[in-house]
Amino acid sequence: MTKFIVFLSWTGWRLAEACRVGACHPAAADPVSRMRVVCLCPTRRSTARRVLSPRSRPMAANSESAAARRQLVLNLFIYPGGHHEAGWRYPGASAERLLDITFYQDLARSAEAAKLDAVFFADGPALVDNIRYASRFRLEPLTWLSAIAAATHHIGLIGTASTTYYEPYNLARLFASLDHLSGGRAGWNIVTTAVPQASGNFGLSETPSHAERYARASEFVDVVTKLWDSWEDEALVVDTASGLFADDTKIHPIEHVGRHYRVKGALNTPRTPQGRPVYVQAGSSDDGRSFAARYAEAIFTAHQTLPSAQAFYADIKRQAASLGRRPEHVKILPGISPYIGSTEVEAQRLYEAFNDLIQPEYSLTQLRQITGTDFTGHDLDARVTPDAFQNAGPRAVASRYQLVLDIVTREKPTLRQLIHRLAGARGHYVSVGTPEKIADEIQTWFEGGAADGFNVMPPWYRGGFDLFASEVVPILRKRGLFRSEYTGKTLREHFGLPRPESLYAQTARASA
Ligand SMILES: Cc1cc2nc3c(=O)[nH]c(=O)nc-3n(C[C@H](O)[C@H](O)[C@H](O)COP(=O)(O)O)c2cc1C
């Protein structure tokens, strides 16, 4: 017997749109979640008219062209099974295709068709605890992004790699290769990795301290920058007539000797189309912020409230400017996880449908990892108070810990409410509502000094992303906030970032 799920999925909303003109449709199978829907014509007509006739927002002043106007950055953050920890269980989530590269190539092509800036892959050098309940295995970013590069032409490719668990020379080669093979679309999300179980996979008896990780990260970025610049742009000659392949006077060993690394160089790969991949960064503590202000060209960050995001945004822009950098060359990109419905009620119901699928064993594991407190066996409907987190230890300086503490202090949730808050997007902003409402929130953060764009984190694939691309992006485009066409080919061009001059060219110019 076909199960009728009353709440309206996307096709149902489309049907509701048809309802507005009075033509009710029989129940139809919804290709997104393959749930059968019933179009509630009579009750929907007024709702449909209210919801479906998009409220006009003040359009961009005609005199100001979209191209001249500051453009929103939108990346699709790809996570196996979706960003909600139970996303893999949601009907229509294609759980059987979690390791199917064609699924991710199709998703990236859809993101490219929507003119998004980049696809974004996280990474973690260890198996998460309690994998038994959540699709939290890791797709190694560089290999999967290389396959996506072959299936796309414009969209950027941002992969995460940890300075704590890589070697500079290898990382420089990998990202240089991704930039070459993609025609200049590579971005490197620089992380220092806080998860304690990673160190055992790399022969370390303990996890380096928070401060030590950032000290290493700074030297690491200095080394890879020298490696990416070790070939001057003119070094590669390839003159078949004369037989000169490369001008080795323009290839420079870096001879780096530092506290953490000794690297002779030069890199064994020519300088790349972008010169260097785009430097993205994720880590929001004080150390993380000063590191980001110094190196990052884009910063992935987690904020639950507009004021918190505004304070972070202002701080980073101020720090970057004080280092002589142009603040507009540092893009602040909070995560946003959208739950989209044709009415607020339906969107809320969708959000609750996901939370009904969570398995608290996994959620409590994540909470313990972030806060150091094990709530196993605690009453899920009892309130959580800040003094419950006595075992934070070194985690206390990590931004994710602070974020959870802020939620508990601000909202006084029960344990169940807290794990629901975190289940959606691990502490990133969750936006539940109609496409208009979600576009309003994006515009408010973008114009309110809180974000230069977002890493979009759909609760599930594909439906969660397809709804965002088909319903929210057009509203943003209509408001003049987001591109209609790519105007560049490289990720730097999408982000409006300059191609960096090599260190040698800078030195030569300075001494000329
Ligand atoms: C938004 C965000 C995303 C992150 N993504 C990753 C990741 O994919 N892999 C990883 O190893 N660490 C990741 N981290 C952890 C950071 O690399 C860093 O180790 C941790 O946040 C501690 O630094 P912080 O206190 O400065 O945030 C992320 C952190 C943030 C804030």
* pLDDT tens column, 351-391: 999 999 999 999 999 999 889 999 999 999 999 999 999 87
Q: How confident is the model at residue 57 (pLDDT cuts 50, 70, 90)?
A: very low
Does the pLDDT at position 43 exceed 50? no
- Overall CATH class of domain 73-347+429-507: alpha beta
Q: How confident is the model at residue 69 (pLDDT cuts 50, 70, 90)?
A: low
Q: 283 in ligand 1 pocket by Cβ < 6 Å?
A: yes
* pLDDT tens column, 85-110: 999 999 989 999 999 999 999 999 99
The DSSP annotation for 370-432 comes to HHS---TTS-TTSBP-GGG----GGGGGSHHHHHHHHHHHHH--BHHHHHHHHHTTTTSEEEE
- Domain boundaries defined on the chain: 73-347+429-507, 357-422
* pLDDT score for 49: 36
CA of 190 to the centre of ligand 1 (A): 9
* pLDDT score for 408: 95
Q: 398 in ligand 1 pocket by Cβ < 6 Å?
A: yes
Residue ID of nearest Cα to ligand 1 atom 8: 122
Phi, psi torsion values for 223, nearest 5 degrees: -70, -50
Phi, psi torsion values for 190, nearest 5 degrees: -85, 120
The CB density around residue 238, as the number of other CB atoms within 10 Å, is 8
Q: Note the pTM of the prediction, 2 decimals.
A: 0.87
Q: 194 in ligand 1 pocket by Cβ < 6 Å?
A: yes
Give the mean model confidence (pLDDT) for residues 251-276. Answer: 97
ipTM over the 0.85 cut-off: yes
- Mark the binding-site residues for FMN, compressed into ranges: 123, 160, 210, 214, 284-285
Does the pLDDT at position 68 exceed 80? no
* pLDDT score for 38: 37
AA identity, residue 295: Y
CA of 374 to the centre of ligand 1 (A): 21
- The mean predicted confidence, pLDDT, of the chain is 88
Does the pLDDT at position 6 exceed 90? no
* Three-state SS sequence of 15-75: HHHHHHCCCCCCCEECCCCCCEECCCHHHHHHHHHHHHCCCCCCCCCCCCCCCCCCCCEEE
The CB density around residue 138, as the number of other CB atoms within 10 Å, is 17
* pLDDT tens column, 9-24: 443 444 344 333 333 3
Q: How far apart are CA 86 and CA 357, in angstroms?
A: 6
* pLDDT tens column, 274-310: 999 999 999 999 999 999 999 999 999 999 999 999 9
Q: How far apart are CA 278 and CA 466, in angstroms?
A: 27
User: Looking at ligand 1, which atom is closest to the CA of residue 397?
Assistant: 25
* pLDDT score for 47: 37
Give the mean model confidence (pLDDT) for residues 240-268. Answer: 97
Residue ID of nearest Cα to ligand 1 atom 24: 283
- Mark the binding-site residues, compressed into ranges: 123, 160, 210, 214, 284-285
Q: 163 in ligand 1 pocket by Cβ < 6 Å?
A: no
